[in-house]
Chain A
Amino acid sequence: MSDIAILNELTKTEWGKKAREYIEKNGLPNKRVEFFHYTDLARALSDKIESPSGEVRSANLSADIIIHATQFGEIVSGASKDLQIDSVSKISGYDEDVTTILVQGLSKSSQRITLKAGKKARIAIQRGAGSRTAMHIIVENGAHLEIIEEQGADAGLSSGLMFAEIGENASLRRIMYADTFGAKDIRKSIVNVAKGGEFAGFSLMRGGELSRIETDVHLLGEGAKCNFNAAYLLKNAHNDITTTVYHHAPNCETKEMVRGIVGEGGNAVFQGKIQVERNAQKTSAVMEHRGIMLEDGGKINAKPSLEIYADDVECSHANTIGALDESALFYMQARGISQKSAKILLIKAFLSQVFDDLQYDDIREYAISRIENRLDEIVG
């Protein structure tokens, strides 16, 4: 088993050793494991890991804390009494699985960020090539935290572990722009939401040789909410969005919208699961995935699923994969719009809806402009 390249990447820490032992004993999951059927980790991580290169394209948004995550570690600026950041050895408090063991084993140290009760703050994280972060985010009762992550890499492997605990009536809004064009990226987020709290995620995935973005959300207290949104634009890229939302308490709400397009060599995976436990009555959950295939190929594998053990719930999911509407394209061309511009207008409209719930215009506009310039590269 020691020929698996990823073993050389694990840190010499106690949790690095744990990951090594785990992998040596069990191997990494391959496509015969259902959860990894469309993203064969064993295969992706057996080959030599290239050395990291590439820059973050940042909008340099203002923030209370700015974290530059590099292949050598994190550089932090701007903490305060209300928003504290500490280096800790390791994060704990969640159920471990193969992905958490792996990403924890790749990181040298962890950051713990605490936003004090009732406060409001924004954190910007610029994730460079080869960054391997682990973060424990604590949003105390009634506090509102926003995290904007911008990631850029052309080569190498980056990873991230985020364990977020959202207090009562608190919220965490996480915006993630990932431009990992020729690089690999493995991410795991575990989000616990207490009574009346909310997690809102907005991700824009613009490529990556291999990206696996796993998110587990636990709605633990009554009235907790999860609003998960992601858009992908893929060409010669493999992007896997795997999300599991657990409803543990009554009166919780989940809203998921994932939309994307794939062109030549694009491979999109969406695994969305909502699990409603027996006592999570009055759950309301909607999940939508819509994918568009451009004419030059690509693949989309989408597997939305609902597992419901409560009887008084309202849950639905929709899943469509199709091509652009030819008659709409013709209509636009008949008005003088070139086929390429017509496609871009239609796709932009289609993907922008993923960001409709972003209240602040600057972030929404920024997401849309990123969609636009990527479309220019993808659409033929």
Chain B
Amino acid sequence: MLKIKDLKVEIDGKQITNGLSLDVPAGEVHAIMGPNGAGKSTLSNALTGHPAYQVTGGTAELNGKNILALEPEERAAEGLFLSFQYPLEIPGVPTLTFLRTALNEQRKYRGEDELSVPQFMKAAKEAAKRLKIEDEMLKRPLNVGFSGGEKKRMEIFQMAMLEPKFMILDETDSGLDIDALRIVSDGVNYMRAPNRGMLVITHYQRLLDYIKPDKVHVLVDGKIVDTGGPELALELEKNGYDKYEALVS
């Protein structure tokens, strides 16, 4: 499903990602853990096509398609979704207008019919109910004035509406209270499917109790330095990243 080979990414001429390789097959959930500044968000942003992140080497394919050659909106329409570590506020643009535009532009790209307003509203109501999002929140301009946790929940709501094929969750758990963590995790698990893949970036093992990963990768200094099963997350929680930091420096 998502195949990354020897990926190198620079920001402002500074190399952050140093030959990262990763393979997430369809139907699997992989977790990425790693110290602050290791390059986890850099990987997410580069895959999504942020213009400030320059890919200087390597490849990334989604279902056999080279996504690095596509515009960000084309990557989205191909099924890639990033739940941002820091979701943005879009003043003046109502949440549902924004989402309907996104959904219909994606559908147009894929040669599908536009969703009518009633169809869209029905889907929005269902997803909002599942994620315990108040109608009032949907009426506001996107994320404007939302708390950190509300913004994260809104990311998952968008994900539910856009039904992507591959999802990257960049620290979606940070900022969520205990109840919200459960609700959001349920929402994420609801989307697990044999034809979907997922990359979950987190600092805390606790999220992985809710969203059970097939594999856990350790990202240090811009590359994957270790891979294991769910038990690796428990071990990291206990011992930290010392042994890997020593290795790369």
Contacts and interface: CB of A to CB of B under 8 A. Distances in A.
A313 B51 CA distance: 47
A356 B109 CA distance: 34
Interface stretch (A34-42, A215-223, A342-350): A342-350
B17 interface: no
B58 interface: no
A338 B90 contact: no
Given A327-B88, A330-B50, A330-B51, A335 B102 contact: yes
A341 B98 CA distance: 10
Contacts of A353: 92
A336 B90 contact: no
A352 interface: yes
A352 B106 contact: no
B85 interface: no
A332 B102 contact: yes
Interface residues of B, number: 30
B77 A336 contact: yes
Contact of A331 (B71, B75, B84, B109): B84
B48 interface: yes
Contact of B73 (A328, A333, A346): A333
Contact of B90 (A326, A328, A352): A328
B88 A333 contact: no
Contact of A336 (B50, B76, B92, B97): B76
Contact of A326 (B51, B98, B99): B51
Given A336-B102, A336-B106, A337-B105, A345 B93 contact: yes
Given A333-B71, A335-B102, A345-B98, A352 B92 contact: yes
Given A334-B48, A337-B101, A338-B105, A349 B76 contact: no
Given A330-B72, A336-B102, A336-B109, A346 B93 contact: yes
B202 interface: no
A335 B76 contact: yes
B72 A333 contact: yes
Interface residues of A, number: 21
Interface string B80-95: 0010100110111100
A236 interface: no
A155 to B, nearest CB: 35
B49 A349 contact: no
B68 to A, nearest CB: 15
Contacts of A336: 73, 76-77, 102-103, 105-106, 109, 162
Nearest to A333: B72
Nearest to B101: A337
B19 interface: no
A225 to B, nearest CB: 25
A339 interface: yes
Contacts of B72: 330, 333-334
A260 B72 CA distance: 27
A334 B49 contact: yes
B66 to A, nearest CB: 18
B67 to A, nearest CB: 12
A290 to B, nearest CB: 12
Given A326-B51, A328-B88, A332-B102, A338 B93 contact: no
Interface in B60-78: 71-73, 75-77
Nearest to B84: A331
A350 B101 CA distance: 17
Given A333-B76, A335-B76, A336-B102, 7 more contacts: A328-B90, A331-B88, A334-B49, A334-B75, A336-B103, A336-B162, A338-B105
3 nearest A-B pairs in the assembled complex, by CB-CB distance: A349-B92, A336-B76, A336-B106
Interface of B: 48-51, 71-73, 75-77, 82, 84, 87-88, 90-93, 97-99, 101-103, 105-106, 109, 141, 158, 162
